[in-house]
Amino acid sequence: MTMSDRYGVAIEQAGDLLRWRSPLRAELWASRFVAEFDADGGDEEAFGELLEGASGQEAALVAAALSAVGTPVRAADPGPEWLARLGDVTCESAWYGKADPYGEQVLAALTFRYRNGKEPHTVVVAIDQVNGGIAVDVAVEEPKFLDDLCLSPADPALVAGRILEAFSLLDMLLGAPVADTLPPLRALTLTRARSIPAHLANTRTQPAKDPGHPAVAQTRPTDHPAQPADAQTRPTQDPGQPVHTQTRPTGDPAHPDVPAQAPHIPPAEARSAPTDDPAGSDHAQSRPADEVAQTGGTTAGFRAPDLSEFSELADVPGAAEAYRVLVEFVGDRDLWWSPARVSAFLTVWLPREATLSREAIEAMPEVVRAWTRRVADEPAIHEQIDADAPGLAARMADESLAGLRKTLTQRRQPEE
């Protein structure tokens, strides 16, 4: 398609959008247009020059819509007054939680409304924890969509930071498979997340804890917290085949007769190559995103509960030392707690990375059980702990399993 043809299509679709007088429809159209334009290797500068020399309301809408989703261009005419509302939104609430029983995917949601009080909408991003915390799907829905989920209220700035980081990590992986619905909504999602300042005032969401905090009460109950009405199962390496949310993106605003399509989130093993750390430890994988600076340099960090909150561990010798190591392993992906991750912690990560006292090694299974009861009290996880715990002491004593850092630390200890 030539640049002239592309411009003609944009003007024709803009004519349809003018009849709707909907800022949200215009921004959704622009986000999809940017994705298609980039995929085809379009020349933004040349397209911008065509717009700058054009008059008419259609050109004005195209320019305003593209500018609202992060591609600043200008047209000769200002267009109708409602175009000034494009991008002028306020974040009303933020939500965060699991998309499946084991937290292999999490959902980060931000709800917005235009400043005139119209067109409330929620941006929901599915983040894959197993493959490093990358964004794998996006939906833009009415706020009532959250009623089908079981998410916790969260600080909007922290949720926005986590969304931006998820997209930044995705950009580091060439060709990472994602849902077909992500690219058309990428520009709008990033613009929405970047619009949120580090500290929001007058928001409806006033959480007491960070979004990942396991003690935050789930405030949108369903029959199963990880199984919304339109969820579908997908194969995983864990027993129990956790349910992964199928989000429902808004239909094409320029063609309202086309129904919205439920995206297919690829299986974990098909989305991207596994990370180098089979245990998924954040201390080894997590990297700050450049875009997080847009939210004041804050990511959606995890604040572990105090050990004193686990009354069952109060009289267990070595529990404090074991708990500190567990928190280090969990990192800021605390909602991801599956049989596979537990097994990797007990059989791979601890022998490779941790230097523990005898009391801490003996206490570790009880500490892991207490953590499991708090964050993901699933039978399959407890069964995995029972299977892997008996051999922990022997694995910790096996020097052939120790990593370089642990080996060097142990060699220095006698000198210190």
The answer for residues whose C-beta is within 8 angstroms of residue 138's C-beta and 6 or more apart is: 123, 124, 125, 126, 179, 181, 182, 185, 186, 189, 247, 249
pTM confidence score = 0.75
pLDDT at position 330 = 94
Flag the least confident range among 140-149, 235-244, 344-353.
235-244
pLDDT at 345 over 70: yes
pLDDT at 290 over 80: no
pLDDT at 58 over 80: yes
Asked if 33 and 66 count as a contact pair (C-beta separation under 8 A), the reply is yes
The answer for residues whose C-beta is within 8 angstroms of residue 402's C-beta and 6 or more apart is: 351, 352, 410
d(CA 159, CA 157): 6
The answer for residues whose C-beta is within 8 angstroms of residue 331's C-beta and 6 or more apart is: 281, 282, 283, 285, 286, 302
pLDDT at 215 over 60: no
Quick: pLDDT tens for 309-324.
Answer: 999 999 999 999 999 9
d(CA 313, CA 321): 12
d(CA 101, CA 224): 9
* Predicted confidence band of residue 412 (pLDDT cuts 50, 70, 90): confident
* Predicted confidence band of residue 279 (pLDDT cuts 50, 70, 90): low
d(CA 34, CA 193): 17
* Predicted confidence band of residue 213 (pLDDT cuts 50, 70, 90): very low
pLDDT at 203 over 90: no
